[in-house]
Amino acid sequence: MLSPSPAKFATVINCIDGRTQLPAIYYMKTNFNVDFVDVITEPGPVKVMTEAGSAFQVYSIQQRLLLSQERHSSQHLGVVAHYDCAANPVEKSKQVEQLRQSLSYIRLWGYKGTVVGLWVNENLEAEEINFDH
């Protein structure tokens, strides 16, 4: 008898805002053909990772990401910023810059996999932000 193939996982670092959860999960499942998405939530995560977070908050995000990668073999990561963020009430251009910086930091942490930046817009659609590297 064949054993079932192992489930495939992705991970998102997302805001706690409930409006952003399903669009980000749907994007990751659709674009990376995964079964499940581990969700790491933090109010205004791109602000936390680039400007206002305590060392504990950033370390906590990092450790949860490593757990997802090590225990669920997550191969894909989405980092989310979104419109109307209560914890990060700045214009989109500022959040996109924070998102770009966050992706750079995550790569320095040694995350082994695809890393994408996502913007959840006012229509509750997740769209990938392309950065020139």
Can you name the CATH fold of 9-129?
Beta-carbonic Anhydrase; Chain A (3.40.1050)
Which pLDDT tens digit goes with each residue over 50-106?
Answer: 996 789 999 999 999 999 999 999 999 999 999 999 999 999 999 999 999 999 999
Q: Is the pLDDT reported for residue 3 higher than 60?
A: no
Average the pLDDT over 45-49 and give the result.
97
pLDDT at 86: 97
Question: Using CA atoms, how far apart are residues 69 and 111, in angstroms rounded to an integer?
Answer: 8
Q: Which two tokens stand for residue 99?
A: 């998102």
Report yes or no: 37 and 77 within 8 Å, Cβ to Cβ. no
Higher pLDDT, 111 or 36: 36
Q: Which two tokens stand for residue 130?
A: 């392309």
Which pLDDT tens digit goes with each residue over 13-25?
Answer: 999 999 999 999 9
